[in-house]
Amino acid sequence: WPQIPGFVSAMLPASAYGGVVLLMAGLALLTLVGASANYLHQMVSMGLCARTAAMIRLEVFQHCIHLPLAAVTQQGPTEFTSRVLRDTGELRAGFESLTSKTIAQITKGVAAFLAALLFDWRLVLERWPLVLLLLTLPVLFKLALVAALARVPAKAKEAGEAKRNQLIAAMSFERDSNRQRQRCRTDHTGQDGSRSQ
């Protein structure tokens, strides 16, 4: 076990009241440092995600501007608007969730591992299979969860595309029916005019 140096123990207060005050002051200092580090981490990560999403949005917008007119009229302007606004917003939310938790969890894990090595490195080396299992299981679970969630938007997109195609077919059928009715009315009007003459 690591030993506290003699000059540090000599500086500690001898009374119980002084020990409690020193302990509370140490906890307050640790809380202040931790809260400041969390705030700075959130500020930096959110700023980085906002800049990245803005750059991606600008690139997508520039790409949409230079698309052929036939592709725009075929898919509709709402599709490209969704790609520019909604998809980049989802990317930003994903970036924020990754950078806000991943870095903090990695640093906590590294700190806990170093503390365990400091207390008893032999025990850590003897139990390395358990350490690897504890490290890989959460990562594998998150990857499986992400893969499962990635299938849901694909199915929803396929259903949306099917509904969109059905709506386009119904609109084209209605348009053709209106044209046919208009032609019939025009033909009847022309026949009635010829008969009256």
pLDDT > 90 in the chain, percent:
3
pLDDT category, 192, cuts 50, 70, 90?
low
Mean pLDDT of 158-177: 65
Q: What pTM, to 2 d.p., does this model score?
A: 0.48
How many of the other CB atoms lie within 10 Å of CB of 139?
A: 9
For residue range 12-58, list pLDDT tens digits in order.
Answer: 778 888 888 888 998 999 899 988 888 888 888 888 888 888 888 88
pLDDT given at position 154? 56
Lowest mean pLDDT among 22-31, 113-122, 132-141, 160-169: 160-169
Say if residue 150's pLDDT is above 70.
Answer: no
Q: How far apart are CA 21 and CA 5, in angstroms?
A: 21
Q: How far apart are CA 56 and CA 98, in angstroms?
A: 17
pLDDT category, 164, cuts 50, 70, 90?
low
pLDDT given at position 167? 64
> Is the separation of the CB atoms in 49 and 95 below 8 Å?
yes
pLDDT given at position 171? 65
Strand residues in 54-151 grouped as ranges (E): none
Enter the tokens of residue 105. Answer: 């969890």
